[in-house]
Amino acid sequence: MTIKEIAKLANVSLGTVDRVIHKRGKVSKKTEEKVSAIIKKVNYQPNIYARGLVLNKSYDIIALVPSFVEGEYWEMPSKGIKMAEKNLSKFGIKLEILYFDQNSVPSFIEKADELIKLKPDGVILAPVINFEAAKLTKKLEKANIPFSLIDSNIPNSNALSFIGQDAFQSGKLAAKLMCSEIKAQGTISIITIKNNENHNKTLQQRIEGFKDYIYNSDFIADISLTENNIHLGSANWEECLTQACNPDNDTVGIFVPSSMIHYVAKCIESNVDTMGNIKLIGNDLIANNVKYLKKGIINYLIGQRPENQGYLALESFYKHLVLEKQVPSEKYLPLDIITQENLMYYNDDDVVSM
């Protein structure tokens, strides 16, 4: 049913129906209730194609995300954003992606300044450099530019939406899986592998969730818990990683709170005689990780559907700007548990290939 037909049924003008639908302008309570009742009865759905033609408007959305080489984690959110653009372009959604080096604060600042000057209608932001990202959100808010966050959240930022994983629960899930696998007393090592000194809130939340589960489990009496940070830029990082994996020859499990678990898996494979029984749990379905999952060196990968994050972030602006609908402030995606046994059900689109 069209707005014209609804107006005829309610015996009101087209403008009155439009004001009721979009909740703008003055309409008497009695008229609003009458029109709303008809809209509900006929299950009115707006003709978005016609609306786009009438408005003849486009919406410029900018995504500010980390650059990547083929096969790295950030390829997937970028792929999802581009897929959403392809599907939503007919509704006036236009996309530009600005890439920054996640290992460089100046790179982020440069691209953030470029973004502000472009004055977009909306921004998709991956706040992996947390402090500078928080500063950018303040500038966006001051300029009345709505923004959605992916991968990591910034509490109290007034974002239009956050789409990503519940990192704390992800850590707890990893700990539960670990406790189900280990059969002997020993040490569980949390190994964080980084390219830089920047604080990554998501990784820290996963670690906190992991420790929270361990501290409240019956296993706490039988194990020791250690934490190690490995910086890939250091001259002796491989030696440090080997030492962190099994310092006292009693390591029973290793948790890597990032997609870089394949570095640990490679180390274990090279020292299989002394480390072959260590249970290994990490994150993200990228090709280097899948390789070691197939070999049985990695026991579990926890997936966070990064491609969906990118897609849903752009879709949130379609709903907000075109449909004028309220967007949920938080959208947590399922925590996928991926093993040798169910890997076959994940197709090529779910894996970042090298």
DSSP 350: G
Residue 219 CB contacts under 8 Å (≥ 6 apart), including other chains: 179, 182
Of all helices (H) and strands (E), which one includes residue 122? strand 122-125
Pairing assessment for the beta strands 251-255 and 186-194 based on DSSP bridges: parallel
Which pLDDT value is given to residue 108?
Answer: 95
Which pLDDT value is given to residue 95?
Answer: 96
Which pLDDT value is given to residue 54?
Answer: 45
| Burial (0-12, 13-18, 19+ Cβ within 10 Å), 74 | buried
110 alpha-carbon distance from chain centroid: 23
For tokens 């899948």, the residue is 290
Its pTM stands at 0.79
**Tokens matching residue 342:** 């169910």
> SS3 breakdown of the chain: % helix, strand, coil, rounded to 5?
50, 20, 30
State the number of CA atoms in the 13 A half-sphere of 186 facing the CB: 22
Which pLDDT value is given to residue 351?
Answer: 44
Which pLDDT value is given to residue 349?
Answer: 55
Which pLDDT value is given to residue 51?
Answer: 54
State the number of CA atoms in the 13 A half-sphere of 12 facing the CB: 21
> What is the block-wise mean pLDDT of the chain (354 residues), using blocks of 10 residues?
83 84 80 89 69 67 94 90 92 94 93 96 94 94 95 90 95 95 90 80 93 90 90 89 91 94 95 92 92 95 93 93 87 94 75 38
**Tokens matching residue 216:** 């409240």
**Tokens matching residue 126:** 């991956």
At residue 156, φ and ψ (nearest 5 deg) are 60, 30
